[in-house]
A and B are shown apart, each in its own frame.
Chain A
Amino acid sequence: MNFEFSSEQEMLRDQARGLLAEHCPASAVRAVLEGDEPYDAQLWKLVTEMGWTATVIPEQYDGLGLSYLELAVIAEEMGRAMAPIPFSSSVYMATEAILAAGSDSQKEQWLPRLASGELIGTVAVAEAAGQTSAQRLKTTVSNGAISGTKVPVIDGDIAHFAIVVASCERGDGATLYLVDLSDSAIVRNQVPTIDPSRSQARIEFNGAKAERLGAEGEGWSVLQQVYNHAAVLFSWEQLGGSDAALEMAKEYAMGRIAFGRPIASYQAIKHKLANMYVKNTLARSNAYYGAWALSTGDSQLPLAAATARVAAIQAYYFSSKENIQTHGGMGYTWEFDCQFHYRRAKLLSLSIGSEATWQDKLVTALEHNNAA
């Protein structure tokens, strides 16, 4: 049994943690949250120089050709630092979609520049409140021109290109398209969200040029595949954040005195923190299995990804809200950093489908296993 990261991967973790602690302290998150800059461009530059955006991209496309285990390690540290950069959009989503469905020439065109960080990519799916469905997409493509509105698109205001899911006549009615967001037939505006440390946009496509990615009518199934990969990587980000929230709550509880003793000595607080630890541990162990299934391409990936995602959503939501509670009134202030985790936990739980969506996918995967 060797169900753990290698010593090289642990070294990468130490390196990532050290670098992000130095270059992405909570003040960096606050600067983006409060300021006009949509992301921390300096941090992004550093992350791309480190090659982290190139982690799983094959060497033939100027990537590092490492495994998803290395990317999981980096993702956890991104989450711990709540890095205000488009890492997940570009790496877990856009890169994965091109790896999954791109033609050789598309891979040659896009992957080297995603690896270097020269380009930021994102994936645009949502059009209105509620689950997006392949059959009811309002964004359409005709004669290579795309029309419709996607909202919200994470990093849509800063990305150079988006992979857009739009309707077509074939298959289940959904196809992926690569769209250069600098096209003059595009209007994009930042939209205020519950987590301004990661920016989002409303994008109006008025006949912009769209290049098909993958086969017509197969966009939705490619998207599900990308989601399964991203679910594992997001789960590591969430886990990093959730552990950080627990540490924050613990540190405060140890130092805060009430009724003559540290609040950390009261069972009401101890049990709260113990529950955070329990949820984080379950999430971590499920994320391990997700990372294993992703890195080996195992057939259990749909179940592993769904389990990792549901566990991570639950853990981070719990520790982010109970971290505020442990801090008492100060935890609710703008001045304190507790809000960052609360915002980010909810944002990450929405990015690729909510808890209920993934609970359903999880049971569907179990049903497939039982039927097999």
Chain B
Amino acid sequence: MDFYDTPEEANFRAEAQAFLEANVPTEQEMAGLDYIAAAKFWQQRKFDHGWATIGWPKEFGGRGATAIEKVILGQEEGKYDVAANIFQIGQGMAAPTLMAYASEEQKARYLPKLSSGEEVWCQLFSEPAGGSDLAALRTKAERDGDDWVVNGQKIWTSGAHYSDFGILVVRTDPEVPKHQGLSYFFIDMKSAGVEIKPIKQMSGGANFNEVYFTDVRIPDAQRLGEVGQGWQVALTTLMNERATIGGGGLAVGVESVMKLAQRVNIDDRPAIEDKQVRAKLADWHVQEAGLKYTSYRTLSALSRGDIPGPENSIGKLVGAPKTQDMASFAIDLMENSGAMWDPEFAEDAGVFQSAFMSIPGLRIAGGTDEIMANIIAERVLGLPQEPRMDKGIPFSKVPTSAKY
């Protein structure tokens, strides 16, 4: 038992470090670029040097790297303050689906530009009437000559406004049971009849969009998989969805809450001396360290070339509520001051308030806590599904809360 790289891994890490050291964009290179332009700049450079989408076959812009090599590059790249990755959905979800279902011409046309970041893709799956029950989607497509005509609405689409293409699941037959009437397409986001509206979140930010389709025409050639096989194709996409959204990217962890507890007082003593405060910090450390060492176990399996066990499926279910509770507790420690969400006056420039206001979304995105618990129960423990009221009946006869 150890935490070391194998000799091959160490070589690869050194190679990745050398590439990053020499090529991470300088501040001058980034000057004046917005985050999309900055992300594209860095992605193109990685592509030019053979460091983009390294797990893909060489012909599409990759280098056939192993799973552990992808992790190592991610670890090393994470040490730099490089531009945010706006390509994750396209490269991580759309591309594997294209590889499995697109024609050779389409793969040659789209995959290299996905790899280089020249073209950005988004995912058009969720709908107002189909969130956790994704297959209940109602956006319809009707055949018209060589085209399909699409009408309906998608929601929670990250990056729709800067995307060139989108992967889309629609209902092509409402008269068969739910999963059997779906078909899967990719679509040019500049198509006539596509309207994108940002969704303002309770945190004040706007990371998602609503996307409306009014008589949008999609060539049949852009269908992936057979008509009526859209659910099976969508499962290919979803299998590649990153399950571990966790509490990541936020500056709220045990260490930051501990430091706050050392600065503020309870009963005229530093809060850190309070036994209740210590008990809570200990419990959160158990979760934080538990997740960290769970990921080490997953990495060990990858390093050996094995498929990791199911243990990493707990990441988001533990991480998101933990971060919410920690942010809430940190704000409580500030007493009256905790209300302030101001970079100048708030403790730690307001990171706890920011986390408190954004975490409710994280507990829902990519599978709600409840769905994640179902997934663990069904796929890890092998417990049976709940009986479904919509099983075996035509979709058009299934009760719905949708108003159209």
Residues of chain A having any CB pair with chain B under 8 Å: 1-6, 69, 250, 253-254, 261-262, 264-267, 269-271, 273-275, 277-278, 281-286, 288-289, 291-292, 295, 306-307, 310-311, 314, 356, 358-360, 362-363, 366-367, 370
Contacts and interface: CB of A to CB of B under 8 A. Distances in A.
Given A6-B1, A69-B1, A285-B292, 6 more contacts: A277-B381, A282-B287, A285-B289, A307-B285, A366-B258, A367-B272
B323 to A, nearest CB: 15
Contact of B383 (A5, A6, A264, A358): A264
A359 B387 contact: no
B311 interface: yes
B110 to A, nearest CB: 34
B240 interface: no
Contacts of B384: 254, 261-262, 264-265
A366 B314 contact: no
A278 B375 CA distance: 12
Interface string B363-404: 000000010011011101111111100000000000000000
Interface string B50-88: 000000000000000000100000000000000000000
A82 to B, nearest CB: 22
B294 A282 contact: yes
Interface in B288-310: 289-294, 296-297, 299-301, 303
Nearest to B5: A1
21 contacts: A3-B297, A3-B300, A250-B383, A254-B383, A261-B384, A262-B384, A269-B383, A270-B383, A271-B370, A271-B377, A273-B381, A278-B376, A282-B286, A285-B292, A285-B311, A288-B296, A289-B289, A295-B1, A363-B272, A363-B285, A366-B281
B2 interface: yes
Nearest to B286: A311
A265 B387 CA distance: 8
Contact of A281 (B294, B370, B387): B294
Contacts of A288: 1, 293, 296-297
Given A265-B386, A366-B281, A278 B296 contact: no
Contacts of B378: 270
B109 interface: no
Nearest to B299: A1
B314 A281 contact: yes
A253 to B, nearest CB: 7
Of listed A269, A311, A358, A359, residue having the most chain B CB within 10 A = A359
B31 interface: no
B3 A270 contact: no
A370 B258 contact: yes
B254 interface: yes
B279 interface: yes
A2 B373 CA distance: 29
Contacts of A267: 370, 373-374, 386
A264 B378 CA distance: 10
Q: Looking at chain A's contact residues, is the secondary structure mostly helix, strand, loop, or mixed?
A: helix
A356 B287 CA distance: 16
B282 A282 contact: no
Contacts of B29: none
Pick the 8 closest A-B CB pairs, nearest first.
Answer: A282-B290, A359-B282, A270-B377, A285-B293, A274-B376, A274-B373, A285-B294, A3-B296
Contact of A261 (B254, B297, B387): B387
B150 interface: no
Contact of B297 (A283, A285, A360, A370): A285
Contacts of A2: 1-4, 300, 303
B82 to A, nearest CB: 23
Given A270-B374, A273-B377, A363-B278, A3 B283 contact: no
A362 B285 contact: yes
B1 A5 contact: yes
Interface string B1-14: 11111000100000
Contacts of B377: 270-271, 273-274
Nearest to A287: B293
B255 interface: yes
Contacts of B278: 359-360, 363
B275 interface: yes
B95 interface: no
A274 B272 CA distance: 32
A288 to B, nearest CB: 6
Contacts of A273: 377, 381, 383
Contact of B303 (A1, A262, A277): A1
A101 to B, nearest CB: 27
B317 interface: yes
B290 to A, nearest CB: 3
B349 to A, nearest CB: 20
Nearest to A306: B282
A111 to B, nearest CB: 25
B297 A4 contact: yes
A277 B376 CA distance: 8
B383 A366 contact: no
Given A4-B300, A366-B254, A278 B314 contact: yes
A314 B284 CA distance: 12
Contacts of A366: 254, 258, 281, 285
B390 to A, nearest CB: 16
Contact of B317 (A262, A278, A360): A278
A367 B261 CA distance: 11
A286 B1 contact: no
Interface in B138-172: none
A1 B297 CA distance: 8
Contact of B291 (A250, A282, A363): A282
Nearest to B1: A292
A356 B282 CA distance: 9
Among A261, A310, A363, residue most surrounded by chain B Cβ atoms (within 10 Å): A363
B318 interface: yes
Contacts of A281: 290, 294, 311, 314
Contact of A265 (B285, B373, B385): B385
Contacts of A69: 1
Contacts of A3: 1-3, 293, 296-297, 299-300
A286 B289 contact: yes
Contacts of B385: 265
Contacts of A282: 286-287, 290-291, 294, 314, 318
Point out which of B254, B259, B311, B382 has the most chain A C-beta atoms below 10 A from its C-beta: B311
Contacts of B255: 370
A223 B181 CA distance: 68
A266 B299 contact: no
A291 B293 CA distance: 12
Most buried by B among A283, A295, A310: A310
A363 B383 contact: no
Nearest to B311: A281
A175 to B, nearest CB: 29
A3 B302 CA distance: 11
